Amino acid sequence: MISNKGRIKSLKTNAEKIQYMGTSGYYFVSYNSKTYLTHRLVAQYFIDPIPKGMVVNHKDGNKTNNHVDNLEIVTYKENTRHAFDHGLMVPLCGEENSMSKLTNSQARNLINDIIKGLANGELAIKYNLHDRYISLVRHKKRWKKLWSEFGSINAEMSNGNDRNKSLSPQQFVQVVKKIKNGVSNASIEREFNLSSGTGSRIRHKKIYCNWWKDYFGESI
């Protein structure tokens, strides 16, 4: 006999059967050398037969709460989504995720190159990735955890279309100091091996916009 609270009794002795907890955290009972999950028994008895491809979900996320009101029959996809929403399942990050396109080391190198100012197209070739994926990394839609290792540096300083920008944060600071000291654009471009016009774009805050804000507190 099965109660709506998840208690199970023997039909022969009317004694409540001992329930054991499996390694997955669910209670089960043994009968005739077979094991049966308690929550599935309750769902089958009080809700409906469980169709093929469906599972029984605990609404409150508590695997030991086998009251019928806490159970529902759902698809695997719905069950997984419920687990994520309730913090019962944590998505794998970085290279631990089988869908990851890069190792952690490669991702760090990519982020370093983004910070240096390399363009999306150039990085796509270098890392054999689509430039749209590079853009997602640049805007911290991918590899957020690794980005946190780089502090407050913001890589959205450009749209990534200028293939000749290659300043590190330290070089950027040096360039701006020279600009503020009256050094000409041409001299700056020669010293830092920048393409013609890059000095002017930096001076007028057309590129490295967020670095202007981060390092010099100047709004764009």
pLDDT tens digits for range 65-77: 999 999 999 998 8
pLDDT digits (tens, 9 = 90+) for 154-202: 555 444 444 345 578 888 899 999 999 999 999 998 888 887 778 888 9
* Cα 4 from chain centre: 39
d(C-alpha 208, C-alpha 117), whole Å: 8
Helices 120-127 and 104-116, interaxial angle, to 10°?
150
- At position 138, the amino acid (one-letter code) is R
For residue 75, the domain's CATH number is 3.90.75.20
Residue where one domain finishes, among candidates 85, 109, 128:
85
Q: What percent of the chain has pLDDT over 70?
A: 85
d(C-alpha 21, C-alpha 29), whole Å: 9
pLDDT confidence of residue 157: 46
Q: Is residue 26 part of a domain?
A: yes
Q: ∠19-21-26 over CA atoms, to 5°?
A: 105
d(C-alpha 72, C-alpha 55), whole Å: 8
Give the chain's domain count: 3
What burial class does residue 102 get, using C-beta atoms within 10 Å of its C-beta: 0-12 exposed, 13-18 middle, 19+ buried? Answer: buried
pLDDT digits (tens, 9 = 90+) for 31-53: 888 899 999 999 999 999 999 98
Answer with the residue of higher pLDDT: 98 or 127. 127
Q: Is residue 91 part of a domain?
A: no
Q: Is residue 114 part of a domain?
A: yes
Given a contact cutoff of 8 angstroms between Cβ atoms, the answer to whether 171 and 153 are in contact is: no
Global pTM? Answer: 0.43
Quote the domain boundaries for residue 194. Answer: 169-216
Label residue 135 by pLDDT band (50, 70, 90). Answer: confident
Q: Is residue 92 part of a domain?
A: no
N-term to C-term CA, the chain = 72
pLDDT confidence of residue 163: 39
Residue where one domain finishes, among candidates 39, 60, 85:
85
Q: Is residue 124 part of a domain?
A: yes
pLDDT confidence of residue 152: 57
Q: Residues 81, 108: one domain?
A: no
pLDDT digits (tens, 9 = 90+) for 85-114: 766 665 545 555 545 678 888 888 888 888
Compute how many other C-beta atoms are within 10 angstroms of the C-beta atom of residue 136: 14
Q: Is residue 4 part of a domain?
A: no
